[in-house]
Structure 1
Amino acid sequence: MRLFEAIDVHADGLKRAALTTGPLARVPNCPKWTVHDLVTHIAFVHGFAIGLAVNRPVKPAPPQDWDDVLGWWDGQRLALREALSHDPAAPAFSPYPGFESTVGDWTRRMAHETAIHRLDAESALDDVPRTRFSPEFANDGIDEFLTYLTPRLGNKADVRVTTPERTWTVGEPGAEVAGAADDVYRALWGRPHQASVTGDLAPLAAP
């Protein structure tokens, strides 16, 4: 699955779960959030990414009403698709001082941001589906987390990460994560997983 297509696939999965649970359901993966909070967050992120991809950063303001924010998000998804349809190598705005970004970087970032939050929305369902990410997608997400997102957030990474397909060594490893790519991907994002973890992953924590 191409990363551009993955944004829609995982946004559709997130929305299906949100419509099933309703806005007031709690999100076990993110205990401080309701589903309404989660949808507002992803709608904001997609809207924010539009401005970054076209080099006109703005801070979007999603509406507060549940039906309104769902409709607003639909519009942002269409605009995001258009913004990311340009040359992946084209320069894009970077909110991270000292780091450059491209349209392709934001496509990748939105694919994985949306995939992780799809898991969050599905965690609120009474019957949680057994969503699994392909090794190709999950390994890409691990790489994006360790080599793109972590340094831009200024997080200290001293970890060795191993999947059947790849190994990453960042810094002087004080922690190790190993397992199927899908589980390692979830572990790095602090979501329920079955990976083997030794040491402290807290310094890697992403928002």
Structure 2
Amino acid sequence: MPTCPGWTVSRLVAHLARVQSWVVNALADPSGRQVEADRPPRDWEELLPWWDERREEMLTGLADPETPAWLPFTRYPQVARSWARRQAHEAAIHRLDAEHALTAEPPLVFDPEFAADGVDELIAWMVPTRRDWSKSAHSGVAVVHATDVDRAWAVRLSSGMPPEITAEVVAGDVTIAGPADAVYRRVWGRPSSAVVTGSTELLEPLAAP
């Protein structure tokens, strides 16, 4: 997922509309065989109503959390509630991008529990299965600590192995610490006040897609 510099509001809307069309198609075809995103209109006046339609279709499809659905993320249960979680954070991060496109310091602050869930989704759900870890040369411990909700993720990296993730504060080789809102922004690659100390190269395999 690209970071906010260079994004325009129209590009963000087109991106969200395209992704939400993908979710609609994933709900319609739980096998995943024919799931592709639709192409949004280029014209702004056509794009907005097209996005409204895709969003409403998606929300209707997500109404039953246990509806079978295809997801490309193998760790997730293949049901609608997994898409609901994924799209909540997709929309939240891109809302932040839109606000950054309008002002350097947007007033938006995420609820700490929601922000912590967004950290958990990336670190505990996406990171372990999204790459071929047999080719990784990273070794060490990365600690992510959301101090205001007392939640932590210790990611133990070993060369050629998938990471081991535990919910604890330990001495790490690199640490990201701060309020959940700041940590959420940092792990998803957005401007943040979270404090990062230690060997930052160990954060590369944890970077948001």
For the criterion TM > 0.5, the same-fold answer is: yes
- Report the equivalent of 2:181: 182
CA distance in 1, matches of 2:24, 2:181: 28
Query: Helix, strand or coil: the match of 2:102?
Result: coil
2:29 corresponds to which of 52, 55, 64? 55
Query: Contact 1:155–1:204 (CA<8 Å) still a contact in 2?
Result: no
Change beyond 3 A, Cα 1:124–1:89: same
Question: Which residues in structure 2 correspond to 1:105-184 (within 5 Å)?
Answer: 105-126=82-103, 128-154=105-131, 159-164=142-147, 165-172=150-157, 174-184=173-183
Instruction: Map Cα deviations across residues 136-158 of structure 1 (whole Å, 9 max, x no partner).
Output: 10111111111122234228695
Shift in Å at residue 79 of structure 1?
0.4
CA RMSD, 1 decimal:
2.4
For structure 2, the 5+ residue unaligned runs are 158-171
Cα 1:33–1:124, aligned 2, differ >3 Å: closer, same or farther? closer
Change (3 A) 1:84 1:132: same
Q: Structure 1, residues 41-68: CA drift from partner, whole Å, max 9, x if none?
A: 1111111112223335232111111111
Contact kept in structure 2, 1:112 and 1:141, CA below 8 Å: yes
How many residues align? The count is: 179
Cα deviation, 1:159-183, whole Å, max 9, x if unaligned, reads 2111122111122454311110000
Q: Which has the larger radius of gyration?
A: 2
Q: Kindly, what percent of the aligned residue pairs are identical? A: 42
- The change in CA–CA distance for 1:89 and 1:159 in structure 2 (over 3 A counts) is farther
d(CA) in 2 for partners of 1:99, 1:108:
10
Shift in alpha-carbon separation, 1:154–1:174, aligned structure 2, 3 A? farther
Structure 1, unmatched stretches of 5+, are: 1-28
Which of residues 70, 75, 79 is equivalent to 1:102?
A: 79
Q: Which amino acid aligns with 2:13?
A: V
TM-score relative to the length of structure 2: 0.76
In structure 2, give the amino acid aligned to 1:76: R
SS, match of residue 101 in structure 1: coil
Q: Residue 31 of structure 1: CA displacement?
A: 2.6
Pairwise CA distance, 1:81: 0.5
TM-score scaled to structure 1, two decimals? 0.77
Deviation at 1:93, TM superposition (A): 0.6
Out of 49, 57, 60, the position equivalent to 1:71 is 49
Q: Tell me the distance in 2 between the aligned counterparts of 1:118 and 1:160.
A: 27
The letter of the residue matching 2:90 is: E
State the one-letter code of the partner of 1:206: A
